Amino acid sequence: MAEQARWYVIHTYSGYENAVAATIEKAVENRKMQDLIVDINIPMETVTEVTDSQTKTVERKVFPGYVLVKMVLTDDSWHLVRNVRGVTGFVGSGNKPVPLTDDEIMALGVEKHDVVVNFEVGNTVKVIDGPLSGFLGTVDEIDTVKMRVRVIVSMFGRETPVDLDFDQIEVVSQF
């Protein structure tokens, strides 16, 4: 049943995010609803603050007032989350929660997916999309988090680095 679980955004009172997440986790455990409510996440970022002559690193909420919940949307799971103290509602139209898209989930970095690439640094690749379509180049750098690759392309006798998406290149088979 966890295959149908989607990420939803819950709006909370500002400052109540941790309390809401803890309450939902406890209610899920007490009611044995782990198959319906799979994960709870409060997106955080690490920020370095400089005040006077001091620098300190702090964790800060990316979206104050919001909690992300991965759940199978049923009447029971909706009521459990909706009736937690501090929750003002789901983000969506009217009373119907709208799940996050896969692109939004990837952009938020909520779920980590293993990315398997069929090329490595030093491989020769062909650009198959964009203004440099048809050019050959050498893979210089691979960024699996952003799903981008830096390719060194020779244009007009100069080596030029170009950042491309994974789907904009293909490996040239070498015999």
Tell me the domain boundaries of the chain: 2-108, 124-171
20 burial type by CB count under 10 A (0-12 exposed, 13-18 middle, 19+ buried): buried
pLDDT exceeds 50 at position 168: yes
pLDDT at 75 over 80: yes
Question: Are the beta carbons of 24 and 102 closer than 8 angstroms?
Answer: no
pLDDT of residue 111: 66
Of 17, 19, 100, the closest CA to residue 66 belongs to 17
Does residue 125 contact residue 101 with C-beta atoms inside 8 Å?
no
Mean pLDDT of 122-145: 89
Q: Do domains 2-108 and 124-171 have the same CATH topology?
A: no
Summarize the confidence of residues 29-40 as an average pLDDT: 91
Predicted TM-score (pTM) above 0.85: no
Please tell me the CATH code under which domain 124-171 is placed: 2.30.30.30
CATH for the stretch 2-108: 3.30.70.940
4-22 pLDDT, tens per residue? 889 999 999 989 999 999 9
